[in-house]
A and B are shown apart, each in its own frame.
Chain A
Amino acid sequence: MTKVFVAGVGFTKIAEHWDRGLDELMAEAALKALEDAGISSVNAIYVGNMLGEALQEQAHLGTLLAEDLGLVGVPAFRVEAAEASGAAAIYQGALDIASGKSETVLVVGGEKLSDGLGEEVSSALMMSGHQEYEGFIGADFYALNALLYRLYDKRYGAGGVAMFPVISHDHAVGVPHAQYPFKLTLEKVLSSPFIAEPLRRMEVSGIGDGAAAVVLIGERSAEKIKSPKTMLHISSSSDYITPFERENPLHFRALTMAVENVIREAKVERREINFIELHDASSIMAAISLESSGFAAPGEAGRLAEKGEFSLGGRIPCNTFGGLKARGHPVGATALYQVAEAHLQLTGRAGKNQVDSAKIGLVQSLGGVAATAFAILLRGV
């Protein structure tokens, strides 16, 4: 197996882009990534997207993008794994390089949620759950998170969990591509209305459009391509879709497995990881994610967040550009944003968000309520 490197990244601002289509956003991100890598074509293209059929009535996004990029002829297709679709596309791209089949791969994540009405988007996002069971009765993502939050509060006390959106917003201030680049106080979080009690509106990510892209290359190309590079490792695991069918719903076992596998593969220790890009689609998922991946003891993540351990300058900064909550969560694009941001950190291009002497970063991406988990480890070279 050859090593896999990130050699270029690009992304759009996350916003409600009323005047731009999904394919245009993806093309912008893709062209920026190619430019960052200093190349004009690739051996293969993978697209991460969850809701193209539901919101744009558009399948076939791979070839559509190849055409938009003037790269007709390049094999191109879409990969789907609910909210982790972008990470699944990276996984396929990395396998393609590692196998030796391709030397250069473009992975693009794109999602355009503003093409649906609010109720249509809520409905479409339920596709990450088990439709014949959870979906039929309206147990949507927020409901499942709210029930987890209740169980968590009963077992451990949920104090401090509401700090996660505060931290993400702190980090997003002044980030040009962030959807919500402003501070959010804990008081504002705790006085926002419930979206599903005890989960509050300001504890969950919003609705936005965006696209992000990375160029992956193999070892031979790494000698020729002169752009700043990082080495990439990726692992994934799955769990029962409904969290309440797991032995312990307060433990994201798929994430545990993915993280353990990726750090073993990369031969690093947890304490060597300098920062984490978390899947904070909700505050409670951020807390359980840190605990499940071994960066906080069960029930402790909120308290550590209050102490500043996950803030820039803290023990292990999380969501260094604002995470899903403040940078934004254009579902299938999100993991590409996370990897792009981690790459900027590790190549010293993170500006005021720079984690000092960052050498290793961990990206976590989850589908549904952690029924699919990806762990992506990037290291500077």
Chain B
Amino acid sequence: MRVPRYWRNIPFRYRLVGWRCNHCGTFHQEKPIICKRCRHRELYEVELPKTGKLVAYTIVQSTPKEFNLVSPYAIGLVELDDGTRILAQLTDFREDELREGLRVEAVFRKIRVDGEQGIIEYGYKFRPLIE
């Protein structure tokens, strides 16, 4: 991945910042020109809450080449406290504690290293929340 491609999506990857439609409320990870659901053009920048609950999870064994150093890894569908659902890698968990409804929080982590350019790519992952 070239640097500009990685760089332009940093707001979402680093801080869960995206754009929400002023009309229908749909969240967009990348800045859209028009709402993908209702075609409204007024969208505002929003930082998503950093805590939520696990709706579903899986442990991926298939290992695309970008992830062969971290395989197997966990992918979760997370419902954030404002109701937005996002996909995330899960981290810092014991396998026996993963369950539907588990409270989780976002953390900033290394996601992968680009083999050709050597860029270390960072982003969000979610881990069990200790309350």
Contact = CB atoms under 8 A, between A and B. Distances in A.
A225 interface: no
A219 B38 CA distance: 42
Contacts of A199: 58
Interface stretch (A131-139, A315-323, A341-349, A359-367): A131-139
The interface residues of chain A, by DSSP majority, are classed as helix
Contacts of A373: none
Contacts of A261: none
Interface in A184-219: 193-199
B47 interface: no
A136 B111 contact: yes
Nearest to A119: B65
Contacts of A193: 61
A271 interface: no
Interface string A333-364: 00000000000000000000000000000000
A180 interface: no
B56 A150 contact: yes
Q: How large is the interface on A (under 10, 10 to 19, 20 to 34, 35 or more residues)?
A: 20 to 34
Given A122-B65, A244-B77, A137 B87 contact: yes
Of the listed residues A122, A137, A194, A245, the one surrounded by the most CB atoms of chain B closer than 10 A to its CB is A137
B75 interface: yes
Interface stretch (A1-9, A39-47, A93-101, A141-149): A141-149
B117 interface: no
Interface in B43-99: 55-68, 70, 73, 75, 77, 85, 87-89
Contact of A132 (B9, B58, B62): B9
B23 interface: no
B42 interface: no
A139 B61 contact: no
A197 B65 CA distance: 20
Interface residues of B, number: 35
A245 B67 CA distance: 24
Given A139-B87, A147-B75, A154-B100, A195 B56 contact: no
Interface string A11-39: 00000000000000000000000000000
A114 interface: no
B123 interface: yes
Given A120-B65, A244-B77, A136 B121 contact: yes
A140 interface: yes
A194 B64 contact: no
Contact of B75 (A137, A151, A154, A245): A137
Nearest to B13: A136
Contacts of A132: 5, 9, 29-30
B60 A138 contact: yes
A133 B12 CA distance: 9
Contacts of A123: 64-66
Given A123-B66, A136-B13, A138-B67, A195 B87 contact: no
Nearest to A133: B29
A196 to B, nearest CB: 4
A143 to B, nearest CB: 4
Contacts of A117: 65
Given A132-B29, A136-B121, A196 B13 contact: no
A143 B75 CA distance: 7
A354 B128 CA distance: 54
A232 interface: no
Contact of B56 (A122, A147, A194): A147
A126 interface: yes
B36 interface: yes
Contacts of B58: 142-143, 146-147, 150, 196-199
Contacts of B12: 133
Given A122-B62, A138-B60, 11 more contacts: A119-B63, A119-B64, A122-B63, A123-B64, A123-B65, A136-B13, A140-B60, A142-B61, A146-B60, A147-B57, A199-B58
25 contacts: A119-B64, A123-B66, A126-B64, A132-B5, A132-B29, A133-B29, A136-B13, A136-B111, A137-B87, A137-B111, A138-B112, A139-B75, A139-B87, A142-B60, A142-B62, A143-B60, A146-B58, A147-B56, A147-B75, A150-B100, A193-B61, A196-B59, A196-B60, A244-B85, A244-B87
Interface of B: 5, 9, 12-13, 29-30, 36, 55-68, 70, 73, 75, 77, 85, 87-89, 100, 111-112, 121, 123, 125
